[in-house]
Amino acid sequence: MSDAPPVATQRDPDKGFFGQPFLLTSLFGVEMWERFSFYGMQGIVLIYLYYSAEQGGLGVPQGTAAGIVGAYGGLVYLSTIVATWIADRALGAERTLFFSAIVVMAGHIALAVLPGLTGVGVGLVLIALGSGGVKGNATTLVGSLYAPDDERRDAGFSLFYLGINLGALVGPLLTGILADVAGFHVGFGLAAVGMALGLVQYSVQRRKLPAAASEVPSPLSPAARTRAIVLAAVGVVVIVVLALTGVLSADRLSLAVIVVSAAAAVAVFALMLSSDGVDAVERRRVLAFIPLWIASVAFWSLYQQQFTVLTIYSDQQLDRNLFGWEFPVGWVQSINPVFIIVLSGVFAALWTKLGSRQPSTPLKFGLAAAIMGVAFLLFLPLAGGGPNSAPLLAMVGILFVFTIAELMLSPVGLSVSTKLAPKAFRAQMVGLFFLSVALGTAISGGLAGLYSAQHETVYFGVNGAVAIVVGILVMASAPALRKLMEGVK
Protein backbone atom coordinates (compact mmCIF):
# COMPACT_ATOMS: atom_id res chain seq x y z
CA MET A 1 0.00 0.00 0.00
CA SER A 2 1.35 3.43 -0.83
CA ASP A 3 1.62 6.09 1.82
CA ALA A 4 -0.93 8.88 1.85
CA PRO A 5 -0.85 12.28 3.55
CA PRO A 6 -1.49 11.99 7.25
CA VAL A 7 -4.59 13.32 8.92
CA ALA A 8 -2.72 16.38 10.13
CA THR A 9 -0.56 18.53 7.84
CA GLN A 10 3.21 18.69 8.17
CA ARG A 11 2.96 22.37 9.19
CA ASP A 12 0.76 21.49 12.13
CA PRO A 13 1.47 17.81 12.86
CA ASP A 14 -0.62 15.82 15.31
CA LYS A 15 1.60 15.16 18.34
CA GLY A 16 -1.02 13.86 20.75
CA PHE A 17 0.76 10.59 21.68
CA PHE A 18 4.32 11.19 22.91
CA GLY A 19 4.89 13.50 19.94
CA GLN A 20 3.28 11.03 17.53
CA PRO A 21 -0.14 11.06 15.82
CA PHE A 22 -2.85 10.33 18.38
CA LEU A 23 -4.30 7.60 16.14
CA LEU A 24 -1.15 5.60 16.84
CA THR A 25 -2.78 4.80 20.21
CA SER A 26 -5.45 2.79 18.41
CA LEU A 27 -2.96 0.65 16.49
CA PHE A 28 -0.62 0.46 19.47
CA GLY A 29 -3.53 -0.80 21.56
CA VAL A 30 -4.97 -3.38 19.19
CA GLU A 31 -1.51 -4.86 18.52
CA MET A 32 -0.61 -4.86 22.22
CA TRP A 33 -3.81 -6.71 23.15
CA GLU A 34 -3.46 -9.09 20.21
CA ARG A 35 0.05 -9.96 21.40
CA PHE A 36 -1.25 -10.19 24.98
CA SER A 37 -3.82 -12.75 23.89
CA PHE A 38 -1.46 -14.55 21.49
CA TYR A 39 1.45 -15.00 23.89
CA GLY A 40 -0.86 -15.50 26.85
CA MET A 41 -2.44 -18.46 25.07
CA GLN A 42 0.92 -19.66 23.71
CA GLY A 43 2.35 -19.80 27.22
CA ILE A 44 -0.12 -22.46 28.39
CA VAL A 45 -1.49 -24.29 25.33
CA LEU A 46 1.32 -26.87 25.05
CA ILE A 47 1.08 -28.02 28.64
CA TYR A 48 -2.73 -28.04 28.30
CA LEU A 49 -2.32 -30.48 25.44
CA TYR A 50 0.04 -32.95 27.12
CA TYR A 51 -1.00 -32.67 30.78
CA SER A 52 -3.13 -35.57 31.96
CA ALA A 53 -6.87 -35.25 32.57
CA GLU A 54 -6.17 -35.25 36.31
CA GLN A 55 -4.03 -32.13 35.77
CA GLY A 56 -6.74 -30.46 33.69
CA GLY A 57 -5.16 -31.29 30.33
CA LEU A 58 -6.01 -33.47 27.34
CA GLY A 59 -3.36 -36.17 27.70
CA VAL A 60 -2.03 -35.83 24.13
CA PRO A 61 1.41 -37.48 23.69
CA GLN A 62 4.12 -34.91 24.32
CA GLY A 63 5.70 -35.17 20.85
CA THR A 64 2.33 -34.85 19.12
CA ALA A 65 1.43 -31.87 21.29
CA ALA A 66 4.70 -30.11 20.39
CA GLY A 67 4.06 -30.81 16.70
CA ILE A 68 0.59 -29.27 16.93
CA VAL A 69 2.02 -26.09 18.49
CA GLY A 70 4.77 -25.93 15.86
CA ALA A 71 2.28 -26.41 13.02
CA TYR A 72 0.06 -23.72 14.51
CA GLY A 73 3.00 -21.28 14.68
CA GLY A 74 3.89 -21.99 11.07
CA LEU A 75 0.27 -21.45 10.03
CA VAL A 76 0.35 -17.98 11.63
CA TYR A 77 3.09 -16.90 9.24
CA LEU A 78 1.56 -18.65 6.23
CA SER A 79 -1.69 -16.81 6.92
CA THR A 80 0.22 -13.52 7.04
CA ILE A 81 0.95 -13.93 3.34
CA VAL A 82 -2.69 -14.71 2.57
CA ALA A 83 -3.93 -11.79 4.69
CA THR A 84 -1.69 -9.23 2.99
CA TRP A 85 -2.91 -10.51 -0.39
CA ILE A 86 -6.52 -10.08 0.77
CA ALA A 87 -5.74 -6.54 1.93
CA ASP A 88 -4.08 -5.62 -1.37
CA ARG A 89 -6.66 -7.25 -3.64
CA ALA A 90 -10.02 -7.29 -1.82
CA LEU A 91 -10.60 -5.54 1.51
CA GLY A 92 -7.84 -3.04 2.20
CA ALA A 93 -5.55 -3.11 5.22
CA GLU A 94 -7.98 -1.49 7.69
CA ARG A 95 -10.91 -3.83 7.13
CA THR A 96 -8.61 -6.88 6.97
CA LEU A 97 -7.12 -5.92 10.34
CA PHE A 98 -10.54 -5.36 11.91
CA PHE A 99 -12.03 -8.66 10.75
CA SER A 100 -8.82 -10.50 11.62
CA ALA A 101 -8.96 -9.21 15.20
CA ILE A 102 -12.53 -10.52 15.48
CA VAL A 103 -11.36 -13.91 14.23
CA VAL A 104 -8.58 -13.94 16.85
CA MET A 105 -11.08 -13.23 19.62
CA ALA A 106 -13.39 -15.98 18.33
CA GLY A 107 -10.47 -18.41 18.42
CA HIS A 108 -9.70 -17.64 22.05
CA ILE A 109 -13.37 -18.01 22.94
CA ALA A 110 -13.41 -21.41 21.22
CA LEU A 111 -10.40 -22.52 23.28
CA ALA A 112 -12.09 -21.28 26.43
CA VAL A 113 -15.55 -22.83 25.97
CA LEU A 114 -15.29 -25.79 23.58
CA PRO A 115 -14.22 -29.06 25.18
CA GLY A 116 -11.23 -31.22 24.29
CA LEU A 117 -9.52 -31.36 20.92
CA THR A 118 -12.53 -29.75 19.25
CA GLY A 119 -11.77 -26.51 21.06
CA VAL A 120 -8.07 -26.84 20.29
CA GLY A 121 -8.66 -27.46 16.59
CA VAL A 122 -11.20 -24.70 16.07
CA GLY A 123 -9.42 -22.27 18.40
CA LEU A 124 -5.89 -22.61 17.03
CA VAL A 125 -6.98 -22.44 13.40
CA LEU A 126 -9.00 -19.26 14.02
CA ILE A 127 -6.21 -17.65 16.08
CA ALA A 128 -3.60 -18.52 13.46
CA LEU A 129 -5.66 -17.07 10.60
CA GLY A 130 -6.60 -13.96 12.58
CA SER A 131 -3.11 -13.31 13.97
CA GLY A 132 -1.69 -13.46 10.47
CA GLY A 133 -4.16 -10.79 9.42
CA VAL A 134 -3.34 -8.50 12.35
CA LYS A 135 0.42 -9.02 12.01
CA GLY A 136 0.41 -8.47 8.28
CA ASN A 137 -1.65 -5.27 8.20
CA ALA A 138 -1.04 -3.36 11.44
CA THR A 139 2.41 -2.28 10.25
CA THR A 140 0.92 -0.98 6.99
CA LEU A 141 -1.61 1.09 8.91
CA VAL A 142 1.07 2.61 11.15
CA GLY A 143 2.89 3.72 8.01
CA SER A 144 -0.30 5.39 6.71
CA LEU A 145 -0.23 7.83 9.64
CA TYR A 146 2.92 9.55 8.36
CA ALA A 147 3.86 11.50 5.28
CA PRO A 148 6.81 9.94 3.43
CA ASP A 149 9.17 12.67 4.67
CA ASP A 150 7.88 12.74 8.29
CA GLU A 151 10.96 12.31 10.48
CA ARG A 152 8.82 10.94 13.33
CA ARG A 153 8.16 7.69 11.43
CA ASP A 154 11.01 5.62 12.94
CA ALA A 155 10.16 6.78 16.46
CA GLY A 156 6.51 5.93 15.85
CA PHE A 157 7.41 2.40 14.80
CA SER A 158 9.58 2.10 17.91
CA LEU A 159 6.57 2.94 20.08
CA PHE A 160 4.50 0.44 18.14
CA TYR A 161 7.17 -2.24 18.69
CA LEU A 162 7.09 -1.40 22.40
CA GLY A 163 3.36 -2.16 22.44
CA ILE A 164 3.98 -5.55 20.86
CA ASN A 165 6.46 -6.51 23.53
CA LEU A 166 4.42 -5.13 26.43
CA GLY A 167 1.61 -7.47 25.37
CA ALA A 168 4.04 -10.36 24.98
CA LEU A 169 5.41 -9.65 28.47
CA VAL A 170 2.15 -9.31 30.42
CA GLY A 171 0.04 -11.95 28.61
CA PRO A 172 1.89 -15.08 29.83
CA LEU A 173 2.18 -13.66 33.35
CA LEU A 174 -1.58 -13.30 33.77
CA THR A 175 -2.80 -16.33 31.82
CA GLY A 176 -0.12 -18.48 33.45
CA ILE A 177 -1.21 -17.65 36.99
CA LEU A 178 -4.90 -17.99 36.11
CA ALA A 179 -4.32 -21.39 34.50
CA ASP A 180 -2.55 -22.54 37.66
CA VAL A 181 -5.18 -21.19 40.05
CA ALA A 182 -8.46 -21.60 38.13
CA GLY A 183 -7.70 -23.92 35.21
CA PHE A 184 -6.64 -23.71 31.59
CA HIS A 185 -10.01 -22.62 30.22
CA VAL A 186 -10.06 -19.57 32.48
CA GLY A 187 -6.59 -18.67 31.20
CA PHE A 188 -7.80 -18.97 27.61
CA GLY A 189 -10.83 -16.87 28.56
CA LEU A 190 -8.58 -14.07 29.79
CA ALA A 191 -6.82 -14.09 26.41
CA ALA A 192 -10.23 -13.61 24.77
CA VAL A 193 -11.01 -10.70 27.11
CA GLY A 194 -7.69 -9.07 26.23
CA MET A 195 -8.42 -9.26 22.51
CA ALA A 196 -11.95 -7.90 23.11
CA LEU A 197 -10.46 -4.87 24.89
CA GLY A 198 -8.17 -4.24 21.95
CA LEU A 199 -11.11 -4.49 19.54
CA VAL A 200 -13.22 -2.04 21.53
CA GLN A 201 -10.43 0.52 21.62
CA TYR A 202 -9.72 0.09 17.92
CA SER A 203 -13.41 0.27 16.94
CA VAL A 204 -13.78 3.66 18.62
CA GLN A 205 -11.05 5.22 16.47
CA ARG A 206 -10.87 3.15 13.27
CA ARG A 207 -13.10 5.53 11.26
CA LYS A 208 -10.60 8.34 11.90
CA LEU A 209 -7.74 6.57 10.17
CA PRO A 210 -6.48 8.12 6.89
CA ALA A 211 -8.37 7.27 3.73
CA ALA A 212 -5.32 5.35 2.50
CA ALA A 213 -5.93 2.79 5.25
CA SER A 214 -9.13 1.61 3.54
CA GLU A 215 -7.87 1.67 -0.04
CA VAL A 216 -7.56 -1.54 -2.05
CA PRO A 217 -4.35 -0.94 -4.04
CA SER A 218 -4.88 -3.62 -6.71
CA PRO A 219 -8.52 -4.74 -6.63
CA LEU A 220 -9.58 -8.03 -8.18
CA SER A 221 -11.83 -8.04 -11.18
CA PRO A 222 -15.24 -9.67 -10.60
CA ALA A 223 -14.09 -12.78 -12.50
CA ALA A 224 -10.86 -13.02 -10.50
CA ARG A 225 -12.77 -12.53 -7.25
CA THR A 226 -15.08 -15.44 -8.17
CA ARG A 227 -12.08 -17.65 -8.99
CA ALA A 228 -10.43 -16.77 -5.68
CA ILE A 229 -13.59 -17.64 -3.71
CA VAL A 230 -13.96 -20.95 -5.55
CA LEU A 231 -10.31 -21.88 -4.99
CA ALA A 232 -10.57 -20.99 -1.30
CA ALA A 233 -13.72 -23.10 -0.93
CA VAL A 234 -12.06 -26.03 -2.69
CA GLY A 235 -9.03 -25.69 -0.42
CA VAL A 236 -11.19 -25.76 2.70
CA VAL A 237 -13.09 -28.84 1.45
CA VAL A 238 -9.82 -30.66 0.69
CA ILE A 239 -8.42 -29.90 4.14
CA VAL A 240 -11.64 -31.04 5.86
CA VAL A 241 -11.70 -34.28 3.85
CA LEU A 242 -8.03 -34.98 4.63
CA ALA A 243 -8.70 -34.35 8.33
CA LEU A 244 -11.82 -36.53 8.47
CA THR A 245 -10.12 -39.41 6.65
CA GLY A 246 -7.13 -39.33 8.99
CA VAL A 247 -4.61 -38.34 6.31
CA LEU A 248 -4.08 -34.98 8.03
CA SER A 249 -3.88 -36.33 11.58
CA ALA A 250 -2.63 -34.39 14.60
CA ASP A 251 0.80 -36.03 14.50
CA ARG A 252 1.25 -35.03 10.84
CA LEU A 253 0.25 -31.38 11.08
CA SER A 254 3.79 -30.12 11.53
CA LEU A 255 4.97 -32.13 8.51
CA ALA A 256 2.09 -30.75 6.43
CA VAL A 257 3.03 -27.13 7.20
CA ILE A 258 6.70 -27.92 6.49
CA VAL A 259 5.84 -29.36 3.07
CA VAL A 260 3.50 -26.49 2.13
CA SER A 261 5.97 -23.81 3.28
CA ALA A 262 8.94 -25.39 1.51
CA ALA A 263 7.00 -25.99 -1.72
CA ALA A 264 5.68 -22.41 -1.73
CA ALA A 265 9.20 -21.03 -1.20
CA VAL A 266 10.68 -23.12 -4.02
CA ALA A 267 7.85 -22.02 -6.33
CA VAL A 268 8.33 -18.31 -5.56
CA PHE A 269 12.12 -18.47 -5.94
CA ALA A 270 11.72 -20.32 -9.25
CA LEU A 271 9.17 -17.77 -10.46
CA MET A 272 11.47 -14.85 -9.68
CA LEU A 273 14.58 -16.42 -11.20
CA SER A 274 12.80 -17.38 -14.42
CA SER A 275 10.66 -14.26 -14.89
CA ASP A 276 11.26 -11.99 -17.88
CA GLY A 277 10.41 -9.08 -15.58
CA VAL A 278 13.58 -9.64 -13.52
CA ASP A 279 16.81 -8.19 -14.95
CA ALA A 280 20.32 -9.62 -14.48
CA VAL A 281 21.16 -7.47 -11.43
CA GLU A 282 17.88 -8.35 -9.70
CA ARG A 283 18.38 -12.04 -10.49
CA ARG A 284 21.79 -12.02 -8.78
CA ARG A 285 20.24 -10.34 -5.75
CA VAL A 286 17.58 -13.06 -5.57
CA LEU A 287 20.35 -15.68 -5.69
CA ALA A 288 22.10 -13.87 -2.82
CA PHE A 289 18.91 -14.06 -0.80
CA ILE A 290 18.78 -17.89 -0.92
CA PRO A 291 21.61 -18.54 1.61
CA LEU A 292 20.18 -15.81 3.86
CA TRP A 293 16.77 -17.50 3.62
CA ILE A 294 18.29 -20.86 4.63
CA ALA A 295 20.05 -19.22 7.58
CA SER A 296 16.73 -17.66 8.58
CA VAL A 297 15.02 -21.08 8.51
CA ALA A 298 17.80 -22.54 10.69
CA PHE A 299 17.48 -19.64 13.12
CA TRP A 300 13.69 -19.83 13.48
CA SER A 301 13.71 -23.63 13.80
CA LEU A 302 15.69 -23.19 17.03
CA TYR A 303 14.34 -19.85 18.23
CA GLN A 304 10.68 -20.93 18.02
CA GLN A 305 11.41 -23.86 20.31
CA GLN A 306 10.73 -21.35 23.08
CA PHE A 307 7.11 -22.43 22.65
CA THR A 308 7.77 -26.17 22.37
CA VAL A 309 10.95 -27.68 23.85
CA LEU A 310 11.65 -24.82 26.27
CA THR A 311 8.08 -25.02 27.58
CA ILE A 312 8.49 -28.76 28.19
CA TYR A 313 11.92 -28.15 29.72
CA SER A 314 10.56 -25.40 31.98
CA ASP A 315 7.77 -27.72 33.13
CA GLN A 316 9.95 -30.75 33.81
CA GLN A 317 13.61 -29.76 34.25
CA LEU A 318 13.62 -26.15 35.46
CA ASP A 319 13.70 -25.26 39.13
CA ARG A 320 10.84 -22.76 39.24
CA ASN A 321 11.00 -22.26 42.99
CA LEU A 322 10.99 -18.55 43.75
CA PHE A 323 11.35 -17.75 47.45
CA GLY A 324 9.44 -20.89 48.39
CA TRP A 325 6.76 -20.51 45.70
CA GLU A 326 6.74 -22.40 42.38
CA PHE A 327 5.80 -19.95 39.64
CA PRO A 328 3.75 -21.03 36.58
CA VAL A 329 5.39 -22.62 33.57
CA GLY A 330 3.96 -19.93 31.29
CA TRP A 331 5.91 -17.21 33.05
CA VAL A 332 9.11 -18.32 31.33
CA GLN A 333 7.60 -16.95 28.09
CA SER A 334 7.79 -13.43 29.56
CA ILE A 335 11.58 -13.43 29.97
CA ASN A 336 12.37 -12.88 26.29
CA PRO A 337 10.09 -9.81 25.86
CA VAL A 338 11.83 -8.14 28.82
CA PHE A 339 15.18 -8.51 27.09
CA ILE A 340 13.76 -7.32 23.76
CA ILE A 341 12.36 -4.16 25.38
CA VAL A 342 15.72 -3.46 27.06
CA LEU A 343 18.05 -4.41 24.22
CA SER A 344 16.23 -3.25 21.07
CA GLY A 345 17.19 0.37 21.78
CA VAL A 346 20.76 -0.70 22.55
CA PHE A 347 21.08 -2.47 19.20
CA ALA A 348 19.53 0.46 17.33
CA ALA A 349 22.04 2.82 18.94
CA LEU A 350 24.89 0.40 18.21
CA TRP A 351 24.09 0.12 14.50
CA THR A 352 23.66 3.90 14.30
CA LYS A 353 27.02 4.49 15.96
CA LEU A 354 28.83 1.96 13.77
CA GLY A 355 27.21 3.33 10.60
CA SER A 356 29.08 2.00 7.56
CA ARG A 357 31.34 -0.04 9.87
CA GLN A 358 28.51 -2.30 11.07
CA PRO A 359 28.51 -5.95 9.96
CA SER A 360 27.03 -6.66 6.54
CA THR A 361 23.65 -8.35 6.31
CA PRO A 362 25.15 -11.80 5.48
CA LEU A 363 27.40 -11.54 8.54
CA LYS A 364 24.42 -10.59 10.73
CA PHE A 365 22.40 -13.57 9.44
CA GLY A 366 25.31 -15.95 9.93
CA LEU A 367 26.00 -14.62 13.41
CA ALA A 368 22.33 -14.98 14.34
CA ALA A 369 22.26 -18.66 13.33
CA ALA A 370 25.57 -19.37 15.07
CA ILE A 371 24.56 -17.55 18.27
CA MET A 372 21.32 -19.56 18.38
CA GLY A 373 23.45 -22.68 18.11
CA VAL A 374 25.56 -21.50 21.03
CA ALA A 375 22.38 -20.89 23.05
CA PHE A 376 21.42 -24.55 22.58
CA LEU A 377 24.91 -25.72 23.56
CA LEU A 378 24.50 -23.78 26.82
CA PHE A 379 21.94 -26.40 27.86
CA LEU A 380 24.63 -29.10 27.83
CA PRO A 381 26.16 -28.32 31.27
CA LEU A 382 22.63 -28.64 32.72
CA ALA A 383 21.89 -32.00 31.06
CA GLY A 384 21.29 -35.09 33.16
CA GLY A 385 20.49 -33.24 36.35
CA GLY A 386 17.00 -34.69 36.68
CA PRO A 387 13.60 -33.07 37.27
CA ASN A 388 13.59 -29.47 38.53
CA SER A 389 17.40 -29.33 38.58
CA ALA A 390 18.14 -26.54 36.08
CA PRO A 391 18.69 -23.17 37.82
CA LEU A 392 16.36 -20.34 36.87
CA LEU A 393 19.30 -17.99 36.33
CA ALA A 394 20.70 -20.39 33.75
CA MET A 395 17.43 -20.24 31.80
CA VAL A 396 17.43 -16.43 32.04
CA GLY A 397 20.99 -16.36 30.68
CA ILE A 398 20.14 -18.72 27.80
CA LEU A 399 17.11 -16.62 26.84
CA PHE A 400 19.37 -13.55 26.92
CA VAL A 401 21.48 -15.25 24.23
CA PHE A 402 18.26 -16.08 22.32
CA THR A 403 17.42 -12.37 22.31
CA ILE A 404 20.87 -11.32 21.09
CA ALA A 405 20.46 -13.71 18.15
CA GLU A 406 16.93 -12.46 17.45
CA LEU A 407 18.01 -8.84 17.29
CA MET A 408 20.79 -9.78 14.87
CA LEU A 409 18.30 -11.25 12.37
CA SER A 410 14.63 -10.45 12.93
CA PRO A 411 14.71 -6.63 12.44
CA VAL A 412 17.11 -7.08 9.52
CA GLY A 413 15.17 -9.78 7.68
CA LEU A 414 12.26 -7.71 6.38
CA SER A 415 14.57 -4.81 5.60
CA VAL A 416 16.92 -6.84 3.42
CA SER A 417 14.02 -8.60 1.70
CA THR A 418 12.76 -5.20 0.51
CA LYS A 419 16.27 -4.11 -0.56
CA LEU A 420 16.96 -7.25 -2.59
CA ALA A 421 13.46 -7.55 -4.05
CA PRO A 422 13.01 -7.25 -7.82
CA LYS A 423 10.68 -4.39 -8.73
CA ALA A 424 8.10 -6.81 -10.06
CA PHE A 425 8.13 -8.96 -6.91
CA ARG A 426 8.41 -6.60 -3.93
CA ALA A 427 5.53 -8.09 -1.96
CA GLN A 428 6.46 -11.67 -2.85
CA MET A 429 10.02 -11.15 -1.57
CA VAL A 430 8.68 -10.03 1.80
CA GLY A 431 6.38 -13.04 1.69
CA LEU A 432 9.45 -15.22 1.17
CA PHE A 433 10.91 -13.96 4.43
CA PHE A 434 7.67 -14.85 6.22
CA LEU A 435 7.84 -18.28 4.57
CA SER A 436 11.24 -18.80 6.20
CA VAL A 437 9.63 -18.04 9.55
CA ALA A 438 6.71 -20.38 8.78
CA LEU A 439 9.03 -23.20 7.73
CA GLY A 440 11.38 -22.72 10.68
CA THR A 441 8.47 -22.61 13.13
CA ALA A 442 6.94 -25.81 11.73
CA ILE A 443 10.36 -27.50 11.85
CA SER A 444 10.66 -26.45 15.50
CA GLY A 445 7.49 -28.43 16.21
CA GLY A 446 8.78 -31.46 14.35
CA LEU A 447 12.14 -31.33 16.13
CA ALA A 448 10.41 -31.02 19.50
CA GLY A 449 8.89 -34.45 18.94
CA LEU A 450 12.45 -35.84 19.17
CA TYR A 451 13.16 -34.21 22.53
CA SER A 452 13.19 -36.14 25.78
CA ALA A 453 14.90 -35.55 29.11
CA GLN A 454 16.75 -38.86 28.69
CA HIS A 455 18.40 -37.74 25.43
CA GLU A 456 18.72 -34.01 25.97
CA THR A 457 22.53 -34.02 25.61
CA VAL A 458 22.27 -35.37 22.06
CA TYR A 459 19.25 -33.21 21.27
CA PHE A 460 20.73 -29.88 22.33
CA GLY A 461 24.20 -30.80 21.06
CA VAL A 462 23.14 -31.79 17.54
CA ASN A 463 20.70 -28.88 17.12
CA GLY A 464 23.28 -26.40 18.36
CA ALA A 465 26.10 -27.81 16.22
CA VAL A 466 24.01 -27.77 13.01
CA ALA A 467 23.00 -24.15 13.57
CA ILE A 468 26.61 -23.13 14.20
CA VAL A 469 27.75 -24.86 11.00
CA VAL A 470 25.02 -23.09 9.00
CA GLY A 471 26.07 -19.77 10.54
CA ILE A 472 29.75 -20.32 9.76
CA LEU A 473 28.97 -21.27 6.14
CA VAL A 474 26.90 -18.12 5.64
CA MET A 475 29.59 -15.94 7.22
CA ALA A 476 32.27 -17.60 5.09
CA SER A 477 30.24 -16.89 1.96
CA ALA A 478 29.63 -13.24 2.95
CA PRO A 479 32.15 -11.76 0.44
CA ALA A 480 30.58 -13.69 -2.45
CA LEU A 481 27.06 -12.81 -1.30
CA ARG A 482 27.90 -9.11 -1.01
CA LYS A 483 29.16 -9.23 -4.59
CA LEU A 484 25.88 -10.81 -5.74
CA MET A 485 23.92 -8.21 -3.76
CA GLU A 486 25.23 -5.50 -6.12
CA GLY A 487 25.83 -2.74 -3.59
CA VAL A 488 23.10 -3.66 -1.10
CA LYS A 489 24.72 -3.90 2.31
Query: Which of 290, 266, 267 has the alpha carbon at shortest distance from 485?
Result: 290
Q: Is the pLDDT score of 254 beyond 60?
A: yes
Q: What is the pLDDT of residues 104-130, one digit of tens each?
A: 999 999 999 998 989 999 999 999 999
Non-local CB neighbours of 384 within 8 Å, separated by 6+ positions: 456, 457
362 vs 10, residue with greater confidence: 362
Task: Check whether 59 has a pLDDT greater than 50.
Answer: yes
Q: Which helix (H) or strand (E) holds 188?
A: helix 184-205
Q: Which pLDDT value is given to residue 273? A: 92
321 by Cβ neighbours in 10 Å (0-12 / 13-18 / 19+) ranks as exposed
Q: What is the Cα gyration radius of the chain?
A: 22
What is the distance between the alpha carbons of residues 292 and 488, in angstroms, rounded to a whole number? 13
How sure is the predictor about 1, in pLDDT bands with cuts at 50, 70 and 90? very low
DSSP state of 326: E
**For the chain, percent of residues with pLDDT exceeding 90:** 47
Whole-number Å distance between alpha carbons of 435 and 431? 6
Using one digit for the tens of pLDDT, what is the confidence trace for 193-217? 999 998 998 998 888 888 888 888 8
CA distance linking residue 482 with residue 489, whole number of Å: 7
At residue 154, the pLDDT reads 66
Give me the mean pLDDT over the 387-396 stretch: 93
